[in-house]
Amino acid sequence: MNKDESIRFAAKYLEDLLSFFGINVAVSSTIDDEVIQLSVPSTSLNSLLIGRNADNLRALQHIVSMALVTREAEVTRVNVDVASYKRQRADRIAEKAEGWIRKVRETGKPMEINLNAADRRVVHKLAQDYSDIDTHSEGEGRERKLIISKIDVD
């Protein structure tokens, strides 16, 4: 299954999956950095689809991703967003990260922050805009932490 077929399949598969919940919506799809982005519009069941700590969103992503893997799709990584929940969360994390970076710049002391993988990615991406800031992750699994530190620039 080539890239375009993978994208179409993922969107249709998620639409079919949602129809089991009585949610009949058109899922929009794009691809960004070899990750299929699936966007579900807002419905009365947003909280069910998102779940506590976005656990249901991750489960939906996993199901769609595994369906792509079993069909030997060219692209198998999937990101599902419901009612722009993840985009809004990323915006909030980026806003917090600006504050963390400001604090590290002022104090010169590194900060260690517990964040999930998606949130760490947002901070890593944002930190690339700062020549005097370095970010990296340390630890394993759920114990993985983001480290923001100041680097000397000549």
Pairing of strands 133-138, 145-150: antiparallel
Q: Which of 127, 69, 67 is nearest to 93 (CA)?
A: 127
Q: Is residue 57 located within the same domain as residue 102?
A: no
Of the pLDDT bands very low, low, confident and very high (cuts 50, 70, 90), residue 109 is very high
Residues 92 and 79 occupy one common structural domain: no
Do residues 136 and 75 both lie within one domain? no
| Structural contact between residues 111 and 74, judged by C-beta atoms closer than 8 angstroms | no
Q: What CATH number does residue 141 fall under?
A: 3.30.1370.50
| Single-letter code of the amino acid located at 97 | A
State the CB neighbour count (10 A cutoff) for residue 72.
Answer: 9
| pTM (2 d.p.) | 0.71
The residue range of the domain holding 98 is 88-150
Tell me whether strands 35-40 and 78-82 are parallel, antiparallel or unpaired: parallel
Q: With contact defined as beta carbons under 8 Å apart, do 68 and 6 qualify?
A: yes
Number of structural domains in the chain: 2
Which band of pLDDT confidence, cut at 50, 70 and 90, is reported for residue 153? Answer: low
Q: Decide which of 38, 56, 83 is a domain's last residue.
A: 83
